[in-house]
Chains A and B, each alone.
Chain A
Amino acid sequence: MATATTTAAPGRSEAPGAAPARTHCPYCALQCGMSLAPRDDASALPVEVSPRDFPTNRGGLCQKGWTSATVLRATDRITTPLLRGADGELHPASWDAALDVVASGIARVRSEHGRDAVAVFGGGGLTNEKAYALGKFARTVLRTANIDYNGRFCMASAAAGANRAFGADRGLPFPLADLGGADAVLLLGSNLAETMPPSVQHLAGVRSRGGLVVVDPRRSATAALTGDPEDQGEGLHLQPVPGTDLVVLLALLHVVVVEGLVDEAYVAARTTGFDDVRRSVMAWWPERAETVCGVPAERLRHVARLLAAASPSRGGGGAYLLTGRGVEQSTQGTATVTATVNLALALGLPGRVGSGYGAITGQGNGQGGREHGQKADQLPGYRRIDDPAARAHVAAVWGVDPETIPGPGMPAVTLLRSLAAPASPDGTGGGPRALLVHGSNVVVSAPNADRVVDGLRALDLLVVCDLVPSETALLADVVLPVTQWAEEEGTMTSLEGRVIRRRRALDPPGEARSELWILAELARRLGSDVAFPTDPAVVFDELARASAGGVADYSGLSHARLDADEDDGGPGLFWPVPAGAPDAGQAGAPHPGTPRMFLDRFATPDGRARMVAVDHVGPSDDVRPDAPLYLVTGRVLQHYQSGAQTRRVPELDRLVPAPFVELHPVLGLRLGVGDGDRARLTTRRGEIEAVARWTDRIRPDTVFIPFHWSGEGSVNRVTTDATDPVSGMPEFKVCAVDVRRAAGTQEVVA
């Protein structure tokens, strides 16, 4: 096997004609394996993408992956630092000048408003090394409590639910390929056929056995995999009223309980809290659930029986329950995850080979990004920042006094909402005055985004690290150009908890630098004596030490080990991978990693999974006479997140160039909004416009808009920023909306 780059020193790259770099796609958490072959042809893209056989993608790539190299040559790529001048425009500047402005700005805000007035906003696309360094920078150099990241928008509820139940949160605590053998897979609020298309391969087995059940208010591409609605050949699609997935789950568990389908032996041996949960679901008999969620009672019973029949205790081939953003981005997202976990536990699925519960992580490093300390309440290794032992351990690695590490800060939505908020008369409670943004485009991706823009504009200092002039970067006082995927070394942790290597295939353009270097320079300028290495391999080694003994233990890993493993044909290692041998019998052999978690015990103090009774409350912004429809949001295959990358790829942009609103023809006829008309959508936050698309794949009481755009069709300008009380995750996925034909379009004749 060809030897690829291992630990290329910063600033040096492969000579043209070198072996292709074995790396992974820049986009989603599937982290499809790909090779990047350098090309000499100056007119073409700098590297040629080809898929690799990797366990998640098995040689497949979607259109985003195939075209990912185009982003490397984005025509508006930022190649020098930019400073906002007296004329209000951004102008190129030297690194020294830009970093001096940032450092002096931070120092000034800090002296005038205190340490917490400087805030950091990170991203789930950053490498593990960058996420770690960012958290360390916030806690040791800025010493601010206020660091959080856009993972709060996607994984916080799944994380809170899994941590509460299992004592650990690894999105899929099993290899994705395990799905292949199951008799039933229940997908709740995940449209993976569009968000991570190559993953559909893993559903082939369950589809052939008629066991795929998809819960989604839309007949999405994924829901359509369940087969023809009439013959229900490959599975079932439940199409609940938006915001009522929790009711579906409570009813499913109700049926499992009253029909005696509980895995009693498992529940007795491996869980606590079942009695409370059992009683709580008694209030949700299927007929009552039907009146709330709109799914016929008999279909609920059918699904409950199907899941039970697939469960190991009843001799089935295994069952998986999987949640996605559709059910998690809700003010009852944590409760919904918990209800899913409760159902899984009652059926005896988690911690059994071939069965389980999992959350399908979205962002490229959405898993690693939530483990290494860029979360408001967390230190590296998935440690809690309010745990004295965790603080002592991490402080020792960082070489600081534990007392100097701040406590928990504000979660993302609260943080963004409080930007530049004035202090109360006694001088307390003021919001951050300076914000550093890394790997996130909050102007498009945050809920109630117009309010976020107001906050960003009111800051004393906004610093954005980005590849391209994203909508957020365009508001910044200072923009710092950074490296992207094919230009850097590091590690990512996939949706399965597999730690994998990202490798450099070419030099970054112009003066783009890694965030690792930027943070080191800022630390120096701010007078910190805490070490900030810039070599990703060295940063990883420190991260590994900091994680040792934590929930997400990487201490047995290094770039060198990951490289050697891959050279031997290994596709990465699953955390936890503690340092040292797994047991005394295998002296010298390193820990092999943990493909399947919880087989013997859960990561709770007593080793048992916690079942917690939860209940349905409903959406925070529910339909009302002046907004009688539900607005749901989601993605399209061609675009990724805020679209900052994919909108710059002509092949993708051409296919889906603008937002659109999907509505049912019956609704369109009533509203007088024809197929192709412009529709105006009004919520409590404001109004937007988009072109109407008629489709019968959506409930007639619901409209859908994808969220990848800024401007007048940017749906997150009108989504609600109400949050889940446990996880702080915003309710992107449902709010009340009024829909009308936009002025100036022809009336449709019904």
Chain B
Amino acid sequence: MTRVVVVGNGMVGSRFASDLVARCGTAAGPSAVEVTVLGAEEYEPYNRVLLSEVVAGKVDVAAIGLPGADDTRVTVRRGTEAIAIDRSARRVVTGEGAHPYDVVVLATGAAARVPDLPGLTDLPGGLPRGAHALRTLDDAREIVAASVNARHAVVVGAGVLGIEVACGLARRGVAVSLVHGGASVMDRQLDRVAGGVVARSLAGLGVRTWTGARTERIVVESGSVRGVTLRVPDGGAPAGPSARPGGGAAGAGDDATRLVDLEADLLVLACGTVPEAGLARAAGLAVDRGVVVGHDLASTDDARVFAIGDCAQPPEGGTGLIAQGWDQSRRLAEHLAERFAAAADGRGARRPGAAQGAAPGRPRVRLGVDADRPSMALRLAMNVVARPAVPADPGVGARATAGTDVVRVKAAGLEIVTMGVCGERRAPDPAHRSVTLSDPASGRHVEVVVADGLLVGATCVGAPDVGADLTATYTRRVPVPADPAHLLLRPVAQAPAPASSPTHMPDRTTVCTCNGVTKGDVVGCWHDGARSVDDVARATRATTGCGGCKEVVCGLVDWLAKADPDQARVALGA
């Protein structure tokens, strides 16, 4: 029996519990596991990724609950906050007691980063009224409630979340200003040109965008947000509709900048996240930005402590994307399940052929799939590309899966997807070949980056079909076309234009698919005396299948009658 304590009952922690029990075959015996999940929140796990959709009013807040681990081997303690990890005694301490562990998995996630701004963080008792981060279900509820009466909203931070929230609030009819410190929006994923295209689209959706703008302070009156003061580049004007700086003291700044006051009764902070790594730090484990873990997701200080999801800092870096957390969950579950089984077998090695086993005469067993209660272990995309980014060392759990860095913005009216090599801050690489299609007037910008015949990065704005194809190509490592420019457009479906007249229809054109009848066959039977659709049907069986070609055959018969009036007259007995 192995005791596993999971700290965190969010999207990754709850998933991990399901993933693990789905892979640990039997409920009893030496390889059995007992999993305890500690969740600080009282809520059941929910889909945090959809919170911006809740704000946008596209998703009902009651609908976003995620499946919990439905298994007797898993105990979930909601509303139970872990206070400490006592590594020497191997137990996790909570307010109610202690949970002994053989393995502890940290999935504590991240908190919204709240910038230290005058007006924002200097009130006792937290943020002023009207100011919200968007990280939890409660945050989303409060923003939705506030949006009912809000007239002016300011969203600070034009990353993915900021853009989604800004569009969501605009959709609710609130005037939205989106403020971003970087030179262009979503600059982690988009270069300046692509960002400009997105800013134009945002304007069309009713969002004013301020880039290169530093938030100086939050104007608070009687404990409520009333406005935001920005420092913007001189001459900087917002992109967006009815761009009118709020009536404040403009031009009071230093040389190249000026101050702008924006009215605001709703302020949403989308300034990134901070990994929740306090427990690990207090337990003496290495913590940098997050809990420092190796490719095997174990703490570099303690092989019994693992960290996954937003609280972790793996060698390739944390992306803050759920795809990465779910991929880590799956990999860690596979790794631990094999380890537990091997320990139970008294062997140190992996079980051979666990996944591929297909011994003659035995039904092939697939891990993690049960007939009547299929595992909730949802493998992301990328399980489709479940091959390591770097060749896996034997004995170490598979490394991070390639393709989990696809960023797809969810905002009605915006179609943005990026992956791999992209954005303003990418390092130049001579091995990369980049091809771009830029069409800002129609809101479209597509860039593909190719190396060694594979797509290693892409930026796609305003071209949803192309974006979907690029993602499939990228995540599955499908070799790219001989000319990568073919990736920039959907290969055109060349539906043969309907011939303007039967004269121009080639003889070998199939008229009746069901019976393989060509135009040539119809003409042939006319020459043999067929004079009506019924005659043609008798001679060729055209029209006698689904009947869909009746119109075309009629047309051909009419055309033949006109082209060959003498014959037609003879047929009619004229």
Spell out A's residues near B (CB within 8 Å): 51, 59-63, 66, 164, 193-194, 197-201, 219, 221, 228-229, 241, 243-244, 257-260, 276, 278-280, 282-285, 287-288, 290-292, 294-299, 331, 335, 410-411, 414, 417-418, 421, 429, 431, 612-620, 622-625, 628-629, 637-638, 655, 664-667, 669-670, 696-697, 700-701, 722-723, 725-726, 728, 750
Report the minimal beta-carbon distance from B337 to chain A, rounded to whole angstroms.
16
On whether the beta carbons of B47 and A292 are closer than 8 Å, the reply is no
Most buried by B among A60, A200, A616, A637: A60
Report the minimal beta-carbon distance from A34 to chain B, rounded to whole angstroms.
11
Q: List 24 A-B contacts (CB under 8 A).
A: A61-B545, A63-B516, A194-B513, A197-B513, A228-B495, A243-B384, A280-B67, A283-B47, A284-B378, A288-B323, A288-B408, A297-B464, A421-B361, A612-B372, A615-B374, A617-B379, A622-B385, A622-B386, A637-B513, A666-B486, A700-B469, A700-B481, A725-B363, A725-B364
Given known A-B contacts A280-B376, A414-B363, A292 and B381 have beta carbons under 8 A apart:
yes
On whether the beta carbons of B360 and A417 are closer than 8 Å, the reply is yes
On whether the beta carbons of A617 and B481 are closer than 8 Å, the reply is no
Report the minimal beta-carbon distance from A703 to chain B, rounded to whole angstroms.
12
On whether the beta carbons of A60 and B544 are closer than 8 Å, the reply is yes
On whether the beta carbons of B477 and A623 are closer than 8 Å, the reply is yes
On whether the beta carbons of A696 and B476 are closer than 8 Å, the reply is no
Number of A-B contacts (CB under 8 A): 237
B574: which A residues are within 8 A, CB to CB? Answer: none
On whether the beta carbons of A701 and B514 are closer than 8 Å, the reply is no
Question: Which listed residue, B46, B379, B467, touches A296 by the CB 8 Å rule?
Answer: B467
On whether the beta carbons of B473 and A617 are closer than 8 Å, the reply is no
The binding surface of chain A is classed by DSSP as: loop
Whole-angstrom CA separation of A591 from B570 in the bound complex: 58
On whether the beta carbons of A282 and B491 are closer than 8 Å, the reply is no
Interface flags, B364-406, vs A, CB<8A=1, else 0: 1110110111111111110111110000000000000000001
Question: Which listed residue, B49, B473, B491, B515, touches A62 by the CB 8 Å rule?
Answer: B515
Report the minimal beta-carbon distance from B524 to chain A, rounded to whole angstroms.
15
Residue on B nearest A284 in the bound complex, by CB: B378
On whether the beta carbons of B476 and A241 are closer than 8 Å, the reply is yes
Whole-angstrom CA separation of A600 from B544 in the bound complex: 39
Whole-angstrom CA separation of A63 from B541 in the bound complex: 8
Whole-angstrom CA separation of A725 from B67 in the bound complex: 22
Quick check: is B529 within 8 A (CB to CB) of the other chain? no
On whether the beta carbons of A63 and B515 are closer than 8 Å, the reply is yes
A63: which B residues are within 8 A, CB to CB? Answer: 514-516, 541, 545
Quick check: is B431 within 8 A (CB to CB) of the other chain? no
Interface residues of B in 463-493 (CB under 8 A from A): 464-465, 467-469, 471-473, 475-483, 486, 491-493
Report the minimal beta-carbon distance from B131 to chain A, rounded to whole angstroms.
27
On whether the beta carbons of B363 and A613 are closer than 8 Å, the reply is no
Whole-angstrom CA separation of A325 from B300 in the bound complex: 49
| Given A290-B408, A296-B415: 12 more A-B contacts, CB < 8 Å | A61-B541, A62-B546, A63-B514, A241-B384, A278-B63, A282-B66, A294-B468, A411-B363, A418-B360, A613-B67, A615-B377, A696-B494
On whether the beta carbons of A665 and B491 are closer than 8 Å, the reply is yes
On whether the beta carbons of B482 and A669 are closer than 8 Å, the reply is yes
The binding surface of chain B is classed by DSSP as: loop
Q: Of B53-61, B240-248, B441-449, which binds chain A?
A: B53-61
Report the minimal beta-carbon distance from B221 to chain A, rounded to whole angstroms.
37
Quick check: is B183 within 8 A (CB to CB) of the other chain? no
Question: Which listed residue, A287, A664, A723, A725, touches B371 by the CB 8 Å rule?
Answer: A725
Whole-angstrom CA separation of A219 from B262 in the bound complex: 52
Whole-angstrom CA separation of A624 from B475 in the bound complex: 11
Whole-angstrom CA separation of A193 from B515 in the bound complex: 12
On whether the beta carbons of A612 and B50 are closer than 8 Å, the reply is no
On whether the beta carbons of B479 and A670 are closer than 8 Å, the reply is yes
On whether the beta carbons of B475 and A276 are closer than 8 Å, the reply is no
Whole-angstrom CA separation of A46 from B297 in the bound complex: 74
Quick check: is B64 within 8 A (CB to CB) of the other chain? yes
On whether the beta carbons of A669 and B481 are closer than 8 Å, the reply is yes
On whether the beta carbons of B63 and A62 are closer than 8 Å, the reply is no
A285: which B residues are within 8 A, CB to CB? Answer: 47, 49-50, 53, 410
On whether the beta carbons of B366 and A628 are closer than 8 Å, the reply is no
On whether the beta carbons of A700 and B491 are closer than 8 Å, the reply is yes
Residue on B nearest A736 in the bound complex, by CB: B476
Interface residues of B in 528-574 (CB under 8 A from A): 541, 544-548
Whole-angstrom CA separation of A160 from B476 in the bound complex: 31
On whether the beta carbons of B479 and A637 are closer than 8 Å, the reply is no
Interface residues of B in 23-72 (CB under 8 A from A): 46-47, 49-50, 53, 58-60, 63-68, 70
On whether the beta carbons of B515 and A66 are closer than 8 Å, the reply is yes
Q: Which 6 pairs from chain A and chain B are nearest by CB?
A: A200-B546, A296-B464, A197-B514, A418-B361, A294-B472, A258-B59
Spell out B's residues near A (CB within 8 Å): 46-47, 49-50, 53, 58-60, 63-68, 70, 323, 358, 360-366, 368-369, 371-381, 383-387, 406, 408-410, 415, 417, 464-465, 467-469, 471-473, 475-483, 486, 491-495, 513-516, 541, 544-548
A725: which B residues are within 8 A, CB to CB? Answer: 363-366, 369, 371
Question: Which listed residue, B49, B384, B481, touches A666 by the CB 8 Å rule?
Answer: B481
Residue on A nearest B543 in the bound complex, by CB: A60
On whether the beta carbons of A260 and B60 are closer than 8 Å, the reply is yes
On whether the beta carbons of B361 and A60 are closer than 8 Å, the reply is no
On whether the beta carbons of B479 and A628 are closer than 8 Å, the reply is yes
Whole-angstrom CA separation of A244 from B544 in the bound complex: 36
On whether the beta carbons of A279 and B546 are closer than 8 Å, the reply is no
Report the minimal beta-carbon distance from A736 to chain B, rounded to whole angstroms.
10
On whether the beta carbons of A279 and B67 are closer than 8 Å, the reply is yes
Question: Which listed residue, A282, A418, A629, touches B64 by the CB 8 Å rule?
Answer: A282
Residue on B nearest A282 in the bound complex, by CB: B47
Question: Which listed residue, A199, A296, A701, touches B546 by the CB 8 Å rule?
Answer: A199
A697: which B residues are within 8 A, CB to CB? Answer: 493
On whether the beta carbons of A628 and B516 are closer than 8 Å, the reply is no
Whole-angstrom CA separation of A292 from B326 in the bound complex: 14
Question: Which listed residue, B365, B408, B546, touches A197 by the CB 8 Å rule?
Answer: B546
B384: which A residues are within 8 A, CB to CB? Answer: 241, 243-244, 292, 618-619, 622-623
A429: which B residues are within 8 A, CB to CB? Answer: 361
On whether the beta carbons of B53 and A258 are closer than 8 Å, the reply is yes
Report the minimal beta-carbon distance from B457 to chain A, rounded to whole angstroms.
15
Whole-angstrom CA separation of A696 from B60 in the bound complex: 40
Given known A-B contacts A193-B546, A228-B495, A669-B482, A164 and B372 have beta carbons under 8 A apart:
yes
Most buried by A among B49, B358, B472, B513: B472
Report the minimal beta-carbon distance from A655 to chain B, rounded to whole angstroms.
5
Residue on A nearest B374 in the bound complex, by CB: A614
A200: which B residues are within 8 A, CB to CB? Answer: 545-546, 548
On whether the beta carbons of B495 and A229 are closer than 8 Å, the reply is yes
Most buried by B among A411, A617, A667: A617
On whether the beta carbons of A51 and B544 are closer than 8 Å, the reply is yes
Whole-angstrom CA separation of A664 from B491 in the bound complex: 9
On whether the beta carbons of B515 and A258 are closer than 8 Å, the reply is no
A700: which B residues are within 8 A, CB to CB? Answer: 469, 478, 481, 491
On whether the beta carbons of B381 and A282 are closer than 8 Å, the reply is no
Report the minimal beta-carbon distance from B413 to chain A, rounded to whole angstroms.
10
Whole-angstrom CA separation of A335 from B475 in the bound complex: 23
Whole-angstrom CA separation of A198 from B516 in the bound complex: 14
Most buried by B among A199, A257, A298, A700: A700
B544: which A residues are within 8 A, CB to CB? Answer: 51, 59-61, 66
On whether the beta carbons of B475 and A617 are closer than 8 Å, the reply is no
On whether the beta carbons of B63 and A282 are closer than 8 Å, the reply is yes
Whole-angstrom CA separation of A619 from B385 in the bound complex: 11
Report the minimal beta-carbon distance from A497 to chain B, rounded to whole angstroms.
22
On whether the beta carbons of A701 and B472 are closer than 8 Å, the reply is yes
Whole-angstrom CA separation of A672 from B66 in the bound complex: 47
Given known A-B contacts A66-B544, A229-B495, A723 and B378 have beta carbons under 8 A apart:
no
Whole-angstrom CA separation of A199 from B546 in the bound complex: 7
Whole-angstrom CA separation of A414 from B360 in the bound complex: 7
On whether the beta carbons of B493 and A219 are closer than 8 Å, the reply is yes
Report the minimal beta-carbon distance from B178 to chain A, rounded to whole angstroms.
20
A615: which B residues are within 8 A, CB to CB? Answer: 374-379
